[in-house]
Amino acid sequence: MMISKYPIQKTEEEWRKELGNERYRILREKGTERPFTGKYNLTAEDGTYKCGACNTPLFESDSKFDSGCGWPSFDESIEGSVEYVQDKTLGIIRTEILCANCGSHLGHVFNDGPTQTGQRYCVNSLSIDFDKK
């Protein structure tokens, strides 16, 4: 029996089949893509970034900025779209960001952003899709 707090519930076998190996590794196994290799790192077009697993809108393009970290960076998420979880996996305390609709891993958020929000959402390109306006 599958028990989940997320509206979208699938077995890991279903996720793996839908996402393919690399996206599954990032979104469901909390992996990370190499910096400066992601499709959306330098994208500057107008539109909406959505969860690569369930298509939930997560970030608007006007919140995107080039932080120089090698991953797409945003200074705020769409309200209610992201869940925040404490992550101690590297021996340090970070804040992991998950899609609030399906629980998929997106990346991490840091309090060192250069914009007015002070936030830097550091997101894997493989965890998102982009709908151009």
Q: Helix, strand, or coil here: 16?
A: helix
Pairing status of strand 73-74 against strand 94-99:
unpaired
Structural domain contains residue 84: yes
Domain span at residue 73? 12-132
Give 3-state DSSP helix, strand, coil % of the chain, rounded to 5.
15, 30, 55
Query: How many structural domains comprise the chain?
Result: 1
Structural domain contains residue 90: yes
Residue 122 known to be catalytic: yes
Structural domain contains residue 5: no
CA dist., res. 67 & res. 74, Å (int): 9
If one counts every other C-beta atom within 10 angstroms of the C-beta of residue 110, the result is: 16
Structural domain contains residue 109: yes
Split at pLDDT 50, 70, 90, the class of 90 is: confident
Structural domain contains residue 45: yes
Structural domain contains residue 4: no
Structural domain contains residue 1: no
Q: Which position among 51, 54, 99, 122 bears the catalytic label?
A: 122
Structural domain contains residue 60: yes
pLDDT digits (tens, 9 = 90+) for 27-82: 999 999 999 999 999 999 999 999 999 999 999 999 999 999 999 999 999 999 99
Split at pLDDT 50, 70, 90, the class of 1 is: very low
CATH number, domain containing residue 119: 2.170.150.20
